[in-house]
């Protein structure tokens, strides 16, 4: 692997932002910003050997500072939603920002996606780390978090690690927007998801507490299925969000196989997390992207590996509580091939 870096702009407070490029021995490459530990580009060959950048991103730091849609960012402290922006832990109530209607979303008003992370180069990649002080965005505990991004063969591996000095809650993910053609919409691209069930949503995209079978619904991706087949379904869980914005409950591995018949690119995602939010860029407005590209509605899909949304209010679900002195570790890998 080779590693290069270049300046990517300066924040209003004078902090410099750097873009790192990790190029694997097979020619695959990833561009990652220390701002938000953000995957800006991910370039792999199509079936004809032509390089294709399969994630959405921006050309300037200013655009990332306005990144309301979290393109490519590492999300924390808590990915996805927390109902009413409140939770109780050890008998104490904690109050968070309401930045998604009546709910708390993706760590609050200034989450990990809006921070410059410290960097440490490794033999195979880069470790990005950040300290979130006790009380930041309303969360308890001094939380030390890192994500190491590295090429492992044909796969980009994201290894998360976190510790805290007080009991707290944690849900980390990456919010890359994938398009295996590098352009156009993803309606014809297919997904196969190893999930027999999903967490049903209310109109605010918050889980109702029901875990429902995917069989007979638009959420059934147990066999390869075009994204556009169900994204316009009139089923409530789809209609509320104008497309997929739903948590799948994994029941096997690999978790997801995504494929484009046009480019021939196949992306296989593995993870040790219990769930994943599939999001089909339902709210992505028309805008300029990298290198003059245009992005908009259905121009990408997100595979946000995670604990279930709002799980702090559902003790019967896998726990998001990180106890003082414990070490949280998790790995998600995106591997690429062609067909």
List, by residue number, the catalytic residues: 175, 304
Can you tell me the distance from the alpha carbon of 182 to that of 300, in angstroms, rounded to the nearest whole number? 9
DSSP string, 279-309: E--TT--SEE-GGG-EE-TTS-BEEEEESPT
**For tokens 């605010």, what's the residue?**
204
Can you read off the two tokens belonging to residue 126?
A: 């880069």
Please, how many CA atoms are within 13 Å of residue 58, restricted to the half-sphere of its CB? 20
Cβ proximity of 27 and 15 under 8 Å: no
* Of residues 122, 178, 223, 168, the one with CA closest to residue 334: 178
Cβ proximity of 124 and 148 under 8 Å: no
> Within 10 Å of residue 163's Cβ, how many Cβ atoms?
18
Can you tell me the distance from the alpha carbon of 1 to that of 26, in angstroms, rounded to the nearest whole number? 9
Can you tell me the distance from the alpha carbon of 243 to that of 195, in angstroms, rounded to the nearest whole number? 18
Can you read off the two tokens belonging to residue 244?
A: 């997929």
CA distances, 326 to each of 111, 160, 166, 323 (Å) = 22, 14, 10, 5
**For tokens 């918050």, what's the residue?**
206
């Amino acid at each position: 692997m080779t590693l290069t870096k270049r300046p990517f702009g300066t924040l209003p407070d004078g902090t410099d932002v750097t873009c790192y490029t990790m190029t694997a021995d097979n020619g695959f490459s990833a561009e990652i910003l220390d701002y938000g530990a953000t995957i800006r580009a991910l370039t792999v060959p199509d079936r004809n050997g032509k390089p294709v950048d399969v994630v959405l991103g921006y050309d300037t730091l200013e655009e990332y500072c306005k990144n309301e849609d979290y393109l490519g960012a590492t999300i924390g402290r808590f990915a996805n939603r927390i109902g009413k922006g409140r939770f109780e832990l050890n008998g104490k109530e904690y109050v968070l920002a309401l930045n998604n209607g009546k709910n708390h979303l993706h760590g609050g008003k200034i989450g990990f996606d809006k921070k410059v992370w410290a960097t440490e180069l490794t033999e195979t990649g880069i470790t990005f780390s950040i300290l979130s002080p006790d009380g930041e965005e309303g969360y308890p505990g001094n939380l030390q978090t890192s994500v190491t991004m590295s090429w492992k063969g044909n796969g980009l591996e994201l290894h998360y690690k976190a510790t805290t000095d007080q009991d707290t809650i944690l849900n980390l993910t990456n919010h890359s927007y994938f398009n295996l053609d590098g352009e156009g919409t993803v309606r014809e691209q297919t997904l196969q998801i190893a999930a027999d069930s999903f967490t049903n949503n209310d109109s605010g995209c918050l889980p109702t507490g029901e875990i429902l079978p995917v069989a007979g619904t638009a959420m059934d991706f147990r066999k390869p299925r075009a994204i556009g087949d169900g994204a316009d379904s009139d089923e409530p869980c789809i209609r509320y969000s104008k497309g997929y914005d739903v948590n799948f409950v994994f029941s096997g591995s690999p978790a997801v196989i995504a494929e484009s018949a046009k480019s021939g690119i196949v992306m296989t995602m593995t993870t040790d997390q219990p769930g994943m939010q599939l999001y089909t860029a339902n709210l992505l407005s028309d805008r300029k992207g990298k290198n003059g590209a245009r992005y908009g509605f259905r121009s990408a899909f997100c595979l946000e590996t995670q604990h279930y949304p709002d799980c702090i209010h559902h003790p019967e679900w896998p726990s998001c509580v990180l106890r003082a002195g414990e070490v949280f570790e998790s790995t998600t890998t995106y591997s690429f091939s062609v067909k």
